[in-house]
Structures are given as structure tokens and as C-alpha cells.
Amino acid sequence: MIKNISKFLILVVLLSCVPQKIPSFVSDVNQILTPAQDQALDMLYREHEKTTTNEIALCITYDHYPEDELRGYGLKLAQNIGVGKKKKNNGLFILFCYKCKRVEIYTGSNMANILKDDMTKSIIDTAMIPFFKQGEFYTGLMCGSKAIIAFLERPENKIN
């Protein structure tokens, strides 16, 4: 009996030393980006969360049918994932469709008071789409993400 307890305790100690996989803020099941690129975006979002408590998640899909339904699909996906702190509603969800070269940005209710639709459209049009047109999807997603984060980390844009 004592031997079994000792083995169990050793196993518990060993397992507690194994790093646990933390869920990523980036979902790229079709591997449109490289694993290193997915990780770089995930790290950017994690650093922003540490600084502000805001959560940003990115989902990359290969395609979506019909294309004109992308906005509704993304909204349902964002709601199901539940990005952001529940009581703060400070989540932001980015959906990128590789085949149609479109990106949508969805915000939690408190986030929407700061990052308004005209600002998200401007970020998409100026920091993302030009790179997408050149086939540089990672660069577009990274530049757009950095623009969003720079805007949200301004002192006047803090979400309480």
C-alpha cells in the first residue's frame, strides 16, 4: 500500500512539472500561416492581455460559403468562443477568410464603445487589405493587430 502511494505521489510531482499547453488565441486549423507566425500573433495578444486585460482572438478559415454570410458566421463564432472578460465585455475577435481575402472584426459591448466601426474599417483598409492583395497574409494580420493594440493601449482608451 505504501509503495503505491509513494508511486502516486512521485507521478503527481512529475506531472506538475510538465508544462501545460495553454489554449492559443489563434485558431488556424488549415495552417494558412506557419506555426511560428501563429505563435507570434498569439504572443502579441497575450502581451496585450497582460497589459490591459483585453482579450483578442484570431480565427483563420480557408473559406466560407456563401461569402456574403461571413459577417453572420463570424458573429456566431465570436459569441460561442466568448472572447473577453465576462464582466468587462472587453473582447475583440478577428476573423480572416483566406479564400475570399476578407477580414471582419467583432468587439464586445464595452470594446465597441472605444474601438468603433469606422476605426476598425480604417485599420482593415489601411493596415491589412494592402498586404492581403500582395499575398502577405501574416504581415497584414500582424500590422492590423498591432494597429488595434496601439489604439487600445492609449491611456484615453482604457476599458474599466
Query: In a 10 Å sphere around its CB, with 0-12 CB exposed, 13-18 middle and 19+ buried, how is residue 24 labelled?
Result: middle
Query: In a 10 Å sphere around its CB, with 0-12 CB exposed, 13-18 middle and 19+ buried, how is residue 144 labelled?
Result: buried
Joined grid coordinates for residue 21: 499547453
Determine the pLDDT at residue 63: 81
- CA–CA distances in Å: residue 13 to residues 1, 9, 56: 19, 6, 34
Q: What does the alpha-carbon distance between residue 127 and residue 138 come to, in Å, rounded to a whole number?
A: 12
1.20.1530.20, 3.10.310.50, 3.40.50.2300, 3.40.1710.10: CATH of 24-157: 3.10.310.50
Average pLDDT score, the chain: 83
Q: How confident is the model at residue 65 (pLDDT cuts 50, 70, 90)?
A: low
Task: Spell out the domain ranges in the chain.
Answer: 24-157
Top pLDDT among 160 and 10 is at 160
